[in-house]
Every structure is written in C-alpha cells, then in structure tokens.
A and B are shown apart, each in its own frame.
Chain A
Amino acid sequence: MTLFQISEPGQSRIKEHCAARAVGIDLGTTNSLVAAVRDGEPRVLCDAEGRALLPSVVHYGAEGGTIVGWDAKARAADFPHDTIVSVKRFMGRGPKDAEAQRKLTPYELAGDGPVVRFRVPGREVTPIEVSAEILRTLRERAEAELDGPLDGAVITVPAYFDDAQRQATRDAGRLAGLEVLRLLNEPTAAALAYGLDKGSRGTYAVYDFGGGTFDISILKLEDGVFEVKATGGDTALGGDDFDRAIAEKVLAEMGWGGDKAAVRRVLDAARTAREALTAAETAEIAVGTFRRTLARAEVEAWIRPIVDRTGPTCRRALKDAGVAPGELDGVILVGGATRTPLVRRFVASTFGREPLGDIDPDQVVALGAAVQADILAGGRRDDVLLLDVIPLSLGLETMGGVVERLIPRNSTIPAGATQTFTTFADNQTGYDIHVVQGERDTVEHCRSLARFNLKGLPPMPAGMARAEITFLVDADGILHVTAREETTGIEAAIDVKPSYGLTDEEVERMLLDSYEHAEEDKQARLLLGERVDAERVLAATRAAMRDDAALLTDEWRAAMDAGIADLAAKLAGADHRAIHEAIEALDRASQPFAEARMNRALERGMRGRRIEDVERL
C-alpha cells in the first residue's frame, strides 16, 4: 500500500514515436520468462543457451554474489539454506504466516518483523530482494536480445494476489531497475494471448494452476474489450503442493530423520516423477539408495485432495460472474500443473467441456504480458482494452473489530471509495485507521494491509473536524490513500505502516544500497559464476578421463593433470579472472583428448549407420 503519489517516470521514460523496448515478464513460482512483441508477434526471449524458462531459484554464495536460474537450481540440493526456491510463496508474507511456518521448509528465517527474511551467508534477504535478482537476470537477458536498455515492463501476478503481494512484486521490479508499466493478472494475460490469437468473442474461464498459486477468472471478450467478470483463487496452492504430497509419502517410507538436504532431494525427485507420470503410467523415484516405482493411479490418489480444493473456488467465481458452466464458450488452461492428466479431467468435468491448451501453458502468460506491454508502451492496438477487477474486498476496521466494506471484490479497477470521519473528542488532531482485505466480517479473519495514522487535523470541538479519506485501487490493484479535512480543506498527513511489506523508505534504502554496492556485487557475482563453471569443468574432465582412460596418452594425461591441479588451486582463491584463465588453460590442455573422444564417437556413429544400411539392403 502506498500513498497516492504518481511521479514522473525517470530516465527510462518512453519517448513518443520511438520503437519502445517493452517486455512482459511472468515471474513464476517455479519458472520465470520474459517475452516481447517483435514484428507484431509476441515471442519468448531465450538465454544464450536457447532456453526460454529461467528457474525461479536464487543461490547465495558463501562469499557474497548470487547465481540465478539453472545453475542455482543445480545447487539447491547441496545448499538448501542458501538457495531460495519458490520465493513467490513468501511475497508479501510475514514470518508468522503459514508458508514460513511450514514443516518441510529448508530455509532459515531471521527476525520477527513484518517481512520474511531468509538467512543466507553473511546477510539476510527479503523475498523482494530475491525476486529482484530473478527480474534482473530477465532484464539483462531482454536487454541483450533487444539490443538496448528496456523502456518498461509488465509483470504478471496471480489474480488473487492481495495488496501486500502486489506491492512486494512492484518493489521487486523497482529494485531490479525496471520501469513497471503495469502489474497484470496472470489469467487475464493468458486470455489476451488467446483472444488476440483467435479474434474470439464470448465468455471464457481461465483455469490457471501454476507452481505455487491457483487462479480462476471468468472473462467476457467483446469488441476488443477483455472484461473480467469475476476472479477467485488461492495464492498458496499449486504444483509444488503435489510434489510435497508425494515427498511426504516417500520420506515416510524412507524413514526420514530430519535432514534438510534430503528434503530438497526428495522434493526434486518427486517433481521429476510427477512430470514423467504426465505421459507414462509408472515412474521410478530414486533418492540415494532408496528406489521405488510409482504408479499414476497411486500418485493421483495422493494429489486428488489438492485438485479438489480448486472446485469450490471455480463454482464461486462462476456464481459471482453470474455465468452457468454451460454458458461458457471455452476454458483456457494455464500453468505447468495443468499438464497433469488428473487436473485436465477435473477441469473437463467441472466445466462440462474439454479445455483449450493449444498455447504452451508455461509460456502463455508471458506472451500475453508482452502484448500488454506493447499496447501500453507503443499505444498501438487502440481497439484492445483490459478491464480487470480487485480480487478481494477492501474494508476498514470499525468498533468491536467489525469490518466495514468499502470496495467489494470483483469491482472493476480502478475503483474508489470515500469515507468521512468525524472527531469524537475536543481538539482531537488525528485518527488511527486500519485497512484490511478479505471477505469475512471480522478483522481477525481478514488480511491486515496497513495501519494509518491520520494527523494534522486542526484542533476543533468534538464532531466538528471532518476528515474525508479517499481509497483508490489503481489499475495495478494497489491501494492508495489520501485524506483531507473537509471544513478547512487542509490536506492531512498519513503515516503508513504496512502490515506485511516494506515502507517506501526501506525500498528506497535498498535501492541506494544496490547502487552503492553495484561494483562489489558485480565482482562477487562474477566470482561465483566462474566458480560454478570451474566446478562443472573439473567434474566433466575427471569423468571423461575415467571413462575413456584408454584414449589418453601419457603426455595428454600429464598436461591435463597439471591443468586440473592449477584450476583446483585457483578455485580456492577469490580471483575470478585467474579462475577464468585456468578454465581456459584446462580446456586447451584437454583439446587433443576431447578430439580423440569425438572422433571415436563419430566412428561408432558411422559404423552404426553402415550396419543399418546393410540391413536395409
């Protein structure tokens, strides 16, 4: 939550009549993607290795520096405390929240403040900073692909994200150096990708089951307007829960003793097995010496309760939208978890029709976000407009802990409400105001958003001063508050204490910190990156020497052993250039051996082909 303040954009301000570099970012629980419209078509931007997905995993090195993505994911099992996985589940959440209290969490959490803090080597980081690392990696990828600095980005969020979760996402974007043009709801982004593709009209349901969040949105498409009629969801329900359910069974069978590294390995193995079961009827799960065959039916029985939890949410959204399942023109599937056959069957039976899934469910959100970014930045496609809603009602605490609803759920945003307060004591100059979000009638059952202290009212007799407070939910779904004393017209000041977020000052400080330590951080990142490369090269070289020992000449072996010893020695130091040079030296020393291996592999391939040729004759 912020005060109502719209500032002029900074240097990255988009110039008119100039092709803007605007991207759509899907900041996912499991994987993240970045996409941009190029030559009129939304396309996912890949990394140097041609990979579209970036695992949403950040590893913090023992001596500073971070690694993001695939290499970080590879380290998660060995460094469970220092490698943050599924950080999205912690966005806008406090240390007392369920996610932080989970039994199977490998993290060490610090402190007791309003925001979760992960204890990683040498420091504590908030989920906002962890997410900013992921966003920065995507920003750098996009800047390399689009050949220049970005003008703006649309970042997607689950439709059911509350104010604190949205604010945290926006702050992460700022920390990553992005001009956040809009926070876009994921199901709406998916509908945009589908709708433009097909030029369709009608009423659609978007069933979005991702790694850690579930959303259902009902949209009406007509004349280029995508109007969200209702939305519902659960921001702590996703494919991760499938893995956890499988892992719990497996850990129990293994006789787990509480080792946190084992948890990460079992969770990874559970995920691999679950993905294999999408196509196969059985899958092998192997962790250490433990081996077990899982049958699809068996796993479906374990995960069915999780899938079933999406049912009432779907029915409520349909009811809120005033739409019967038979009136839908289609159901769109989004999110990796919708690949699970059980989920597809569940959706088909809930909505009484086969769902659409012709756009890759992992990419559809990023593609839709790219289209929206293009619309916002370029001002093109004037015929297309998204009308989204606020997912949860906003209210104020009144006497006795009762909630007075100001803006009901599913109101189209931007949405506003005004409330007038009168003083109850002589010379009273302020009020305490507590804003909550949720559907229940009592404060304790709603999510606390922030406490405001309204001050600076002119001293007057009781009941004379009247403060008018305006609540406004902007197009990002974020609440802004302004206050004015009616009789004198004095703008009253408001102190915001976010219940589960950082204050603007804290974000500002983080931003300054990151500028100040930019060079240091860069050096640490380079060092960590080279170390990961070095470890990979050492392991691969040793394995090759062992596997193809027969091909090694004494000369080659001596040169390579020397290279390995040198690299291992440099690896113990902290000079990233020295490590880089040692990697290259080992590479050169391995060259003849690598060529010999390649030749032999080719020969084998040729022989194989010849046999085939012979057989064909």
Chain B
Amino acid sequence: MNKFEVLGFEPRFGLDAVELERRYKELSKKLHPDRFATAPAKERIASLAAATALNDAYRTLRAPVARAAHLLEIHGRKLGQNESVDQAFLMEILELREALAEAQAEGDAPRIQALGGDIGGRRAAALTALGEALDAERWDDAKRELVLLRYFDRFLAAHGDEEEDE
C-alpha cells in the first residue's frame, strides 16, 4: 500500500490539506494504540503497526517535497543519496554556501537575510515547476526539480540553524 492509499487519496501531487488533516485525525481516532491499551497483545501489535504507517504516510503527504519524492518513487524514480546535478548549479550553490558561512562568521545580518531571501525565492519557483512537471507526468523533469529543491532546503537549513543559536 502506498502512502496515498493509506489515507485514501489518488496518487497526485495536488492535495487538499484540510481534507488530509481531517482524514488523518479520523483514522488516528480508530487506529491509535491508546484505543487498544487493554486489548490482547495481537491487537495491540496490529494497532502499533497501523498507527506507525499512518503517521509516516501523513508526515510524507503533508510536506510537498516529501510528497513529490514519494510520488516519483511510485513511478520508479526513487531519489538516491548522490543524484547527478548540473555542474554549474553545483558550483554556484557551493559558492553561495561559502558566502553564507562567511556572512554568518562576520555576523553580517543584512547579507544573511539577502542570501536567504534569494534562495527562498528560487525554492518557490522550483516547487511550482515541480508541481507542473508532476501534473503533466513529466517524471524526469520533476526529478530534476526535486534534486534542486533538496539543495535549496539544505541551504535554508544551514541558514536557519544559525538564527537559532542566539
């Protein structure tokens, strides 16, 4: 059973977030181990497995990037750890990471913010392109956008972590 099926959805990128949450909570009320706290061991194990799968499916479908990756996996394009990527893009992102690290070391807040805003914008554009490619079933294009998104997200994670350590 794929993760769309767990929550009763067609495997498509576009998803009604409100409906997703409603179904998740409804199913949780039925499957959660709290409902089986005093049941026989067999039922408790089954509930644990079902609730774990439900939580996993919900976590995947809720986040657009994870949802897209799962959709691609269903269509035989699972992302590996080291997907090839355009060399020029790789060089550029490495330089931007260096610039970010420098700005952070110097405590250059305006520069940090500008870098974050820039990548944030490009991430949004890639997400739109990803959605369009998935809807048009251009799986390979979608996969390429997803690889870019992963680089942008890693950049933003590095960007965010620094903000946190006040």
List the interface of chain A (C-beta within 8 A of B). Answer: 6-9, 13-14, 16, 20, 152, 181-182, 222-225, 227, 312, 315-316, 319, 372, 375-377, 379, 382-383, 385-387, 411-416, 472, 474-475
Contact = CB atoms under 8 A, between A and B. Distances in A.
Interface stretch (B47-55, B102-110, B115-123, B134-142): B47-55
Interface size class of B (residues with CB under 8 A): 20 to 34
24 contacts: A6-B41, A6-B48, A14-B38, A181-B38, A222-B25, A223-B25, A224-B29, A225-B28, A312-B165, A315-B164, A376-B34, A382-B29, A383-B29, A385-B25, A385-B34, A387-B28, A411-B59, A412-B55, A412-B58, A414-B51, A415-B56, A416-B53, A472-B52, A475-B48
Contact of B32 (A6, A319, A379, A387): A387
A36 to B, nearest CB: 16
Interface of B: 25, 28-29, 32-35, 37-38, 40-41, 44-45, 48, 51-53, 55-56, 58-59, 160, 164-166
A413 B38 contact: no
A37 B160 CA distance: 45
Of listed B34, B37, B58, B165, residue having the most chain A CB within 10 A: B37
Given A414-B48, A414-B51, 11 more contacts: A6-B45, A9-B38, A13-B38, A152-B37, A225-B28, A315-B164, A315-B166, A412-B55, A414-B55, A474-B48, A475-B33
B38 A377 contact: yes
Contacts of A20: 38
Contacts of A413: 55
A319 B164 contact: yes
A316 B35 CA distance: 32
A601 B11 CA distance: 84
Q: Chain B binding site: helix, strand, loop or mixed by DSSP?
A: helix
Nearest to B161: A439
B118 to A, nearest CB: 21
A414 B59 contact: no
Nearest to A476: B33
Contacts of A375: 34
A83 to B, nearest CB: 36
Nearest to A319: B164
A223 B26 CA distance: 10
Contacts of B52: 414-416, 472
A312 B41 contact: no
B42 to A, nearest CB: 9
Contacts, number: 79
Which of A16, A376, A475 neighbours the largest number of chain B CB atoms within 10 Å of its CB?
A: A475
B32 A376 contact: no
Nearest to B56: A416
A412 B166 CA distance: 27
Contacts of B56: 415-416
A18 to B, nearest CB: 11
A385 B29 contact: yes
B55 A475 contact: no
Given A312-B164, A411-B55, A474 B33 contact: yes
Contacts of A16: 38
**Most chain B Cβ neighbours within 10 Å, of A315, A377, A383, A412:** A412
A377 B34 CA distance: 9
Contacts of B40: 8
A7 B164 CA distance: 43
A312 B161 CA distance: 12
Contact of B28 (A9, A315, A385): A385
B141 to A, nearest CB: 28
A414 B40 CA distance: 18
Contact of A376 (B25, B38, B165): B38
A225 B28 CA distance: 9
A413 B59 CA distance: 11
A337 to B, nearest CB: 23
Contacts of A475: 32-34, 48, 51
Nearest to A15: B38
Given A182-B37, A319-B164, A414-B51, A225 B29 contact: yes
Given A385-B29, A415-B52, A182 B38 contact: no
The 3 A-B residue pairs with the shortest CB-CB distance in the complex, in nearest-first order = A376-B37, A416-B52, A14-B38
Nearest to B25: A225
A549 B25 CA distance: 73
B48 A8 contact: no
* Max chain B C-beta neighbours (<10 A), residue from A223, A375, A387: A387
Contacts of A14: 38
Contacts of A376: 34, 37-38
Contact of B34 (A6, A13, A386): A386
A152 B34 CA distance: 13
B58 to A, nearest CB: 7
